[in-house]
Amino acid sequence: ESSNMIHTPGTEHWDKKGSKFNRSVSMAGRSERLLEALDQLERRVAELREDVAALEDEKFALLDTLKQTRESLNTQGISEGESEEISLTLDRLIGRTQVVRIELRFVRSPPQEEALQQVDTIMEELQQELRGNPAQARAQLHACLNACKAHGAEGHADHKFQSLLIGCALEDQKRVRQRLESLAGNYE
């Protein structure tokens, strides 16, 4: 054996020719460095996923604010010419925001996909209700938000929404709750 080989029990291996060889310290060191590098990469991937989720939330919040602003133009006492210019600008900003594609894909089973689609439909309807009749829609918003809480919900929980949400992937459940919390913050 060469002088740079150190015998450690359990490090013996056999090559293709059937000869016994020992793993060197340098091989163990390279393996350890590679595992450390992979751990760092895994942390960076997790951070990237969090950043993408935050950007998606920001996109939804921007769209909601732009739509609220557009709907409140009639009550602002603005002249028709100014209102038309502001409306065109808002439409342009809404269009530019809608074409931004931020996507974080999750592996979902077909039942999870279906549950998420139903939850998204309820969320869209809730956003429309909040813009049209905010006083009544706030109660529904809080019922949906309470449905997201496992314990300590304050008030009524929407059990239909809760059963659909439970059918979603865990990552989707977290994102739905964050969207609801964001909506609640915008309409309080």
HSE-CB for 95 with a 13 A CA cutoff: 6
Choice among 12-21, 89-98, 109-118, 124-133 with the minimum mean pLDDT = 12-21
pLDDT per residue over 16-57, tens digit each? 565 555 555 577 778 888 999 999 999 999 999 889 988 988
- Between 2 and 145, the more confident residue is 145
Average pLDDT over residues 140-164: 85
The encoded tokens of residue 168 equal 């979603």
User: CA of 152: how far to CAs of 36, 99, 146, 177, 184, in Å?
Assistant: 41, 39, 8, 15, 17
The encoded tokens of residue 96 equal 């530019």
Closest by CA position to 182, among listed 106, 126, 104: 126
pLDDT per residue over 90-112, tens digit each? 999 999 999 998 887 888 999 99
pTM of the model: 0.57
Tell me the fold of 109-188. Answer: Methane Monooxygenase Hydroxylase; Chain G, domain 1 (1.20.58)
Domain regions of the chain by residue span: 109-188
pLDDT per residue over 85-95, tens digit each? 999 999 999 99
Q: For 5-60, list the strands marked E by DSSP.
A: 12-14, 20-22
